Structures are given as structure tokens and as C-alpha cells.
Chains A and B, each alone.
Chain A
Amino acid sequence: MIALHNVWKTYNTDGAPVHALRGVSLNVAEGEYVAVMGPSGSGKSTLLAAIGAMNPPDQGQVLVDGIDVYGLNVERQADFRHEYLGFVFQQLQLLPYLTALENVLLGLVIARLTRAEKISRAREVLREVGLAGKENRLPYQLSGGEQGRVAVARAIVNQPPLVLADEPTGNLDRATGTQVLELLRELNATGHTVLMVTHDAEAAEYANRIVTIRDGQISDGHSDGAALREHGRSSSHEKAEEV
């Protein structure tokens, strides 16, 4: 689904070059749920933007579903984002003056559907994420978890094959963050490929595979989120037994 080959990205900050990505190569198969984990400034957001056709690398190639993302012109890149990607942002980014339904409809504004079809699909997705009956509420009238569900609904309303999540628990309370992570896992279970960047190890545990990035480089290959969780459990169990 995703193939990055030797991707480099350098920012010039106050004349001093900062290497955000240094020769990153990464493959994500269709249907995978991958967490890219790393500390602040490690390059994980740059990596996400590069995959999302919003930040062209200085060098290397980004392929999504076989499409050379940066071989497209600017407008085709926009079409690509609309057709292939769903974004879940840090802080969720719901527009406060729009209802839950209207926020979800944003993902369909430019879709080639009739207005009735768009509304029908947005309602259906809201129902799928457990928000039936709350379509006309403004974000402030929803709980944090419900807002997270709206954000996820907006990301998937256009039925994208790939969902990119940027620190989806970054600014949420623990309970809300957990609900968003559960939703992402459910999405993955229904066939969406999910790529999440996070600095939170607990969040990363929800993924099938964890990739660590440090100083712009994939540092430790692959690890399995489920195995990590299992390892965490057994470690805790062992510690309990020791006590």
C-alpha cells in the first residue's frame, strides 16, 4: 500500500539545515495497522505529510497504491488525498460552528454525489461510529470521545483505503484517546490500512506493527504491537508473581 524509498527531507531553519528525514525506506502492506513511534522532532510528522502528498521530499520516492505521489501535479495531489486518504488530526480539528453531520460532510463536499447521497452517507458513517441521533449537535455539545468519533467519521466518510492519524491522542484525555484508538483499530478490522504517528508507547500498542523513528531515520526495523502488548502483559504477570 505504502512504499517509501530512500526519502530525504531537510528544512533550513535560520540558515541551519535540519534533516527531518534521512534516507527513510518503509513498506506498509494493505490492511496493516502501523504505528510510527518517536520523540518530538524525530521526523514522524514530516513522514506523515510526505505520505499525505503535502510535503514533497528533497529526494526519494513515495508510492501509495503504486501511485508516485509527487509525480502528480498540485491539483491531482488534492484529488489523490480525496480519493485515497483520510486524516485524523491531533486536536481532532472539528469546525466549531458546524454540526457533527456538517463536519462529516466536509469530507464529501467535493465528492461527485448528490446532496441527498452525501447526507445519507454521512449519517450512515455517524451511525457506524455510534453517534446516531447526535448528528445535529455542535462539537461543544458532544463529549471528548464523541468529538473523536466525529473526527474519525470525517476521515472515513469518503471510504479511503488509507487512514493517516497524526498523534490522534496527543491532546485528548485518556478516555477519549482510548476511544479514538479503539475506533482506528475497528477501522483496520474493516479493511482500512492505518498509519498512525505517535510518541505514546501505549497508543502504539494498538497497532499491528510498530516502527520507531529517531533523528529522521527508521532506527529499529519492525516490532509487533500485539507481541509488545503480550510482552507487557507477561512482564507484568511475572512481576506480580515475583511479588
Chain B
Amino acid sequence: MILLVLGLAVGVATVVALMAVTRTMRQAIADRLDQYGANILIVPRSSDLSLSYGGITVASASYDVGEMTLEDIKSITTIREARNISVIAPKLLGAVELGGRRVLMAGVLFLDEIRLKQWWDVDGEYPAAPDEVLLGARLAEVLSIQPGDALELQGQTLHVIGVLEENGSQDDGILFADLALAQGLLGKPERISLVEVAALCTECPIEMIVEQISEALPQARVTALRQAVTLRMETVEHLTDFALGISLVVSAIGALVVLMTMLGAVSERRQEIGLFRALGFRQAHIKRVVLGEALAVSLAGGVVGWMAGMATAIALRPSLADVTTPVVWDPWLALGAIGGTLLVGLGGSLYPAMRAARLDPSTALRSL
């Protein structure tokens, strides 16, 4: 029976470790994916020009017409699902003359923009003062500008505090300035061209958020970047499906191990069962004895297995999941593991219990 407890514990530990690591990976991936940028784009409804930004093309948007205002951002924070919104990054886009070239300038709130674009890698520093700007790698190369250089823009001196490493996106060709500065230079105070929103959408209802923002901003077109969301969810779901599949296989093997072990135990204990029958135990009593033992063994296996599985998950976490993501202590996983083990143990013991109960007492008596 001790071997059966150990066998069950190993099976449960495997499943629990797999589920815990998968959940941790799932959480880590979800966190990482949620950090990979916007999944909701808000642009003015009245636009009639194509706007391409960040590798994402949004139809019927323009930075020249129908801009929104900073007041609109406040409306976004009042929706019912606001708790699921992690970043709101407004932008004002406009073309400016720089070194004899027309370049795209993006006025941003740097703190929010940096949170949104965690893949940014900068040569130099991120702007902290209003007159400090950030250049895309290609733009800096074309203009032959290094971090620390100064720029003259519409008679105003700006300091290039950092240059973005090339990342293959449209950011490579953009001049990033503080939103208020850009509004001043473009003559559009309080105006913004678009808002990028990152929602923590692994579990949250993205369509509901879009709907609520649309209600809050009737003059704007709110678009969910469905493909990105779907991809994120599919990735996470595949991991979960994998873990469930393995769990089912392990459970089936566990049930077979229990079945074989309990059949062996019943066969070995014919004398004992015969004694019980001679003492007046009914068939139901014998079933109860066998299933009671299976219950105790399964409970022990489930508890030990769950603890071993969590310990394994904690030990494996650094190599399998993001080191910074802690293992998720889910009470439902504990209940599921122990409950599942009880089901497997009892399920696998049903037939042996019936065989024990049907054991012919006269045969048992002859063996006594």
C-alpha cells in the first residue's frame, strides 16, 4: 500500500507540477504579451486618410483632421472595466521640417509610452525634461544626430537625449517629443491624434472594453487589435490544453496502477477477506473495507503528490518560466489534485472491491 501511495503521489506530483508550471508560464506569457503593446486603438471617427503607425494600419484615421483632446483620455478612465486597463498612451502626430526634411513628430507622454513599449532599447537616456527628445534609429542616422546633440526646431532648441535602437517598426523614423511640447510646436494645444490603450486582456473581456470606450467617446473609432488578442489567447490556451492532455494520460495510467495493485491486494488477502466473511461481514461491508482503504491511500497520495508537485514547480520555475513570475498557489489546483486522486483511486478500486465482495466464503474458509 505504501508503494501505491508513492505511485499515486508521483503521478499527482507530475500533474500538479505540470499544471502549476503551465499556469505560471501562462501567467508569465500573459504578462509579457500584455506588455507587448497596445491592443486597443482609438482614433477620430471623422478621419478620411489612412494612418499607419507602429506597423498597424487603421483605416479612416488622420492626424490632420478630427483630433481628440486630452479631456477624452479622462473619459476612458471612467469606464466600468477601467481596472483592466494598464496603459493609456495618447499621441499627437504631425509633420515638421527638420534639417531640410519633413519628418513625423510624435508628441507622447514618455512615462506611458515607455510602459507601453517595453521592447524599446535606447542609446542614451529617456527624456525627462520638456525640451528633451528621442529619435528613431533611422531618423538619427539620416540626420547624423548622436545622443547629446541639439536640434533647432521652429526656433526652439531641443536636446536629443537618446536614440532608439533599430527595432524594424515605424518608430525608427519618428521624432518623439513631450506631448505638451509637440502640441505647442504643431499649434494644437490640448489636441491628440490617437490613443493607444493596453488592456490586461488575457482574461478580460476585450470586446466589452471596446464597447465601453466607444460609449465614452462617441466621436472616436475604437478598434480592438483582434489578431493580437486572439493570438495571445491561443498561445495560452494551447499551453493549458497540453497540460490537461498530459494530466488525462497520467490519470488513466494512475487508475490502471490502482486497479492492478488493488486486484493484487485482494488476491493476497483472500484469507483476511474470508475471515471477515466468516465473522458476518456482508458483501457491502467488504466493499466498504476495500474502498475505505483506497480512499485513505488516495488521500495520502493526493496530499503528498500535491506538495511534491508544488515543490517541483517551484524548483523548475527558473528553467521553465519567467524567473520573476512566482508560482501560482491556486487552491482549486490543490482541491482538483486531491479530488482527482480520490476519483482515480476509488474508480480504480471499484472492480477489485466487487471481486473481494463476491469472493466465495467457502473458498476463503478452505484457505484459512
Partner of B285, one of A45, A91, A110: A110
A79 and B282 form a contact (CB under 8 A): yes
Chain B residues with CB below 8 A from A80, complex form: 280
Q: Contacts A91-B368, A93-B368, A166-B368 given: A75-B280 contact, CB under 8 Å? A: no
Interface string of A150-169 (1 = CB under 8 A from B): 00001000100000001000
Closest CB in chain A relative to B269 CB, distance in Å? 10
> Do residues B368 and A81 form an inter-chain contact, with CB atoms below 8 A?
no
B283-315 interface bits toward A, Cβ cutoff 8 Å, 1 = contact, 0 = none? 111000000000000000000000000000000
B32 to chain A, nearest CB (A): 55
Say whether B82 faces chain A, with CB atoms less than 8 Å apart. no
Interface: A148 (CB within 8 A): no
Chain A, residue nearest B280 (CB): A82
* Residues on B with beta carbons closer than 8 Å to the beta carbon of A79: 280, 282
CB distance from B360 to the nearest CB of A (A): 8
Asked if A74 is an interface residue, CB under 8 A from chain B, the answer is yes
Whether a CB of chain A sits under 8 angstroms from the CB of B96 is no
Query: Is A177 in contact with chain B by the CB < 8 A criterion?
Result: no
Inter-chain contact A78/B365, CB cutoff 8 Å: no
Q: Which residues of chain A in 38-64 are interfacial with respect to chain B, using CB atoms and an 8 Å cutoff?
A: 45, 49, 52, 54-55
How many A-B pairs have beta carbons closer than 8 Å: the answer is 67
Encoded as 1 (CB less than 8 Å from any A CB) or 0, chain B from 72 to 110 comes to 000000000000000000000000000000000000000
B129 at the interface (CB under 8 A from A): no
Q: Closest approach, in angstroms, between the C-beta of B2 and any C-beta of chain A?
A: 13
Contact B366 A78 (CB under 8 A): no
B280 pairs with A78, CB closer than 8 A: yes
Are B283 and A78 in contact, CB atoms less than 8 angstroms apart? yes
**Best-buried of A110, A154, A166 by chain B (most CB within 10 Å):** A110
In-complex Cβ contact of A81 among B271, B272, B278, B284 (8 A): B278
A87 at the interface (CB under 8 A from B): yes
Q: Tell whether A106 is near chain B: CB-to-CB under 8 Å.
A: yes
A91 to B366, CA, bound (A): 12
Q: Of A45, A78, A158, which is within 8 A of B277 by CB?
A: A78
A201 on interface, CB distance cutoff 8 Å: no
Cβ distance B131 to chain A, nearest Cβ, rounded Å: 86
Nearest neighbor of A54 in chain B, beta-carbon distance: B361
**Residues of B with C-beta under 8 A to A67:** none
Task: Decide yes or no whether A175 CB sits under 8 A from chain B.
Answer: no
Separation of A107 and B275 alpha carbons in the complex (Å): 10
B267 sits at the interface (CB 8 A): no
Which residues of A sit under 8 angstroms from B284, Cβ to Cβ? 75
B62 vs chain A, min Cβ distance (A): 85
**Closest residue on chain B to residue A95 by CB atoms:** B272
If A55-B362, A106-B276, A166-B368 are given as contacts, then 8 extra A-B residue pairs at C-beta distance below 8 Å, sorted by A number, are: A49-B365, A54-B278, A55-B365, A78-B283, A89-B278, A93-B275, A109-B279, A166-B365
A: residues with CB less than 8 A from B are: 45, 49, 52, 54-55, 74-75, 78-83, 85, 87, 89-91, 93, 95, 106-107, 109-110, 154, 158, 166
9 residue pairs, one from A and one from B, having the closest CB atoms? A82-B280, A55-B362, A54-B361, A81-B280, A78-B282, A54-B362, A89-B368, A49-B362, A87-B278
Give the interface of B toward A (CB within 8 A). Answer: 271-272, 275-285, 361-362, 365-366, 368
**14 A-B pairs in the complex with CB atoms less than 8 angstroms apart:** A49-B362, A49-B366, A52-B365, A75-B283, A75-B284, A78-B285, A81-B278, A81-B280, A82-B279, A89-B278, A89-B368, A93-B368, A95-B275, A110-B282
